[in-house]
Amino acid sequence: MKFFNFHLMPYRHADLDAIANNGSAWVTFSNRHYDAQKGAELYHEYLDQMEFADKLGFDGVCLNEHHQTAYGMMPIPGVLAGALARSVKRAKLAILGRALPLINNPLMVAEEYAILDNLTRGRLIAGFVRGIGAEYHAMGINPAYSQERYAEAHDLIVRAWTEPGPSIHGRGPTRSHIRQSGSHRKAPARPSAGPRACATPIARP
C-alpha cells in the first residue's frame, strides 16, 4: 500500500454568501472576488504543505486541473508541478490529471510532462482525464466530442513519447489539433524513464 497527499488548492477566502447568491462557485463566479495578495499567500502555503508531505514520508504528492472555479486554483497543474519538481526530493509527483479534450494541441502536454519527468528524474506520474461539464462550457468545447478528443490526444501523446519522431495525421473532429496547413507535427522531448500514464477513463476497442 502507498500513501499519496492529494491537494485541490481551493481559494479558501471566497465569500460563501457571494457564491450562494451567484448559485455556483464555477464559471460564472466573478474573479472580482479574488484577492491576488491572498491568492499568492495561498499558493505558497499549499506548496509548503506538499513539500512537508514529502518530508513526512508520503509516497507521492498529487495535483489536479480545474478551470474557472474557487474550488481549486490549478488551471495549469504543470506550473505548480514545476515549482515542486526540485523541492520535493523523494516522493513521486502525480498530476491527476490534464483534461485532454480541452487542449487544442496535445503535443503541448507531451512536452510539458516530458520536461517535468526529466526534472524529477523519472518521478512524474502522468495523469489524463476528460474534465467535467462546467469546463467544457467555460472553454466553448462541445462535450459530445469529448471521448473522441480524449482518445486521439492520449494516443498522440503516447506515440510522441515512444516512437522516434512520428508524423501524425489526426482523424475526426480533432484533426485540427494535430495538423495545420498540411504540415506535420513532430514528437517533442521524451520522458527520462519511459511514460507512466494513468487515469485513462475510456473504453478502448
Q: What integer pLDDT is reported at residue 162 of this predicted model?
A: 86
Q: What integer pLDDT is reported at residue 87 of this predicted model?
A: 97
The band of 24, judged by pLDDT with boundaries at 50, 70 and 90, is very high
As a whole number of angstroms, the distance between CA 47 and CA 33 comes to 22
Helix H segments across 6-35? Answer: 16-22
User: What share of the chain has pLDDT > 70, as a percent?
Assistant: 80
Q: To the nearest whole number, what is the mean pLDDT of the chain?
A: 85
pTM for the whole structure? 0.82
Exposure string of 88-113, with b = 16+ CB inside 10 Å and e = fewer, is beebbbbbbbbbbbbbeebbebbbbb
| Residues 34-77: tens digit of each pLDDT | 999 999 999 999 999 999 999 999 999 999 999 999 999 999 99
Q: How far apart are the first and last CA of the chain?
A: 31
Residue 120 has pLDDT above 80, yes or no: yes
Average pLDDT over residues 163-178: 53
Residue 177 has pLDDT above 50, yes or no: no
Residue 174 has pLDDT above 60, yes or no: no
CB atoms within 10 A of CB 31: 8
10-19, 75-84, 105-114, 155-164: least confident range: 155-164
Residue 173 has pLDDT above 90, yes or no: no
Domains of the chain by start residue, with CATH:
4-198 (3.20.20.30)
Alpha-carbon distances of 21 from 29, 143, 163, 183, 204, rounded to whole Å:
10, 27, 52, 49, 42
**DSSP string for 77-125:** HHHHHHHHTTT--SSEEEEEEEEGGG-S-THHHHHHHHHHHHHTTS-EE
Task: Of 144-148, 165-169, 193-197, give the range with the top mean pLDDT.
Answer: 144-148
